[in-house]
């Protein structure tokens, strides 16, 4: 009788150990999944930025951005450079918002993205026109965030 009782307690303990092990495994898998998502998103952004790095780090961009904010016309080549830079900059901001929404970035990130959107996108008619032409390339959350930030600038 005593051996049967000990066996029952041991079985119960073993079953509880299995259940606890499964719970810990599920938590670990969820954590790894979130980290994998963050790494994939970061990799996507790094790839886009490195591919476009020759354009947006060029000697031409400061002058082009200055001309855009001054309302000056751009040549066809300058427009291509500007639109490519614009896409890379927004891809980076889209990634920043995603990482903030996942809890990976600090509380100042929305304010930073809002300032970027108002200055870089909403700060010129070409910025708004370029945004309108490219916004389908970004996440719905980022598009809604930017649209809200520049709504009074349209």
Residue 57: per-residue pLDDT: 73
Phi-psi region of 124 (alpha: psi -120 to 50; beta: other; left: phi over 0): beta
Q: How far apart are CA 32 and CA 38, in angstroms?
A: 10
Question: Which residue from 139, 92, 86 is spatially nearest to 112, judged by alpha carbons?
Answer: 92
Residue 56: per-residue pLDDT: 62
Model-level pTM? 0.69
Query: What Å distances lie between residue 88 and 31, 43, 111, 113, CA to CA?
Result: 29, 13, 20, 14
Q: How many C-beta neighbours within 10 Å does residue 11 have?
A: 10
**Terminal Cα distance for the chain, rounded:** 83
Q: Check residues 42 and 148 and name the one with the higher pLDDT.
A: 148
Residue 59: per-residue pLDDT: 85
pLDDT digits (tens, 9 = 90+) for 15-46: 888 888 888 888 888 888 788 777 867 776 77
For helices 109-116 and 76-101, the axis angle rounded to 10 degrees is: 160
pLDDT digits (tens, 9 = 90+) for 86-140: 998 899 899 889 988 988 777 888 999 999 999 999 999 999 999 999 999 999 9
Q: How many CA atoms lie within 13 Å of 26's alpha carbon, on the beta-carbon side? A: 6
């Amino acid at each position: 009788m005593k051996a049967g009782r000990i066996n029952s307690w041991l079985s119960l303990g073993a079953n509880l150990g299995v259940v606890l092990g499964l719970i810990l495994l599920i938590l670990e898998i969820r954590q790894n999944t979130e980290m994998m998502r963050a790494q994939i998103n970061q990799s996507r952004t790094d790839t886009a930025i490195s591919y476009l790095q020759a354009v947006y780090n060029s000697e031409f961009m400061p002058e082009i951005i200055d001309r855009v904010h001054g309302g000056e016309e751009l040549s066809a080549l300058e427009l291509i450079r500007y639109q490519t830079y614009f896409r890379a900059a927004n891809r980076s901001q889209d990634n920043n918002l995603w990482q903030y929404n996942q809890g990976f970035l600090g509380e100042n990130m929305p304010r930073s993205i809002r300032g970027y959107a108002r200055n870089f996108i909403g700060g010129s008619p070409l910025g708004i026109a370029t945004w309108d032409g490219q916004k389908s390339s970004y996440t719905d959350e980022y598009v809604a965030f930017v649209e809200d930030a520049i709504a009074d600038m349209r």
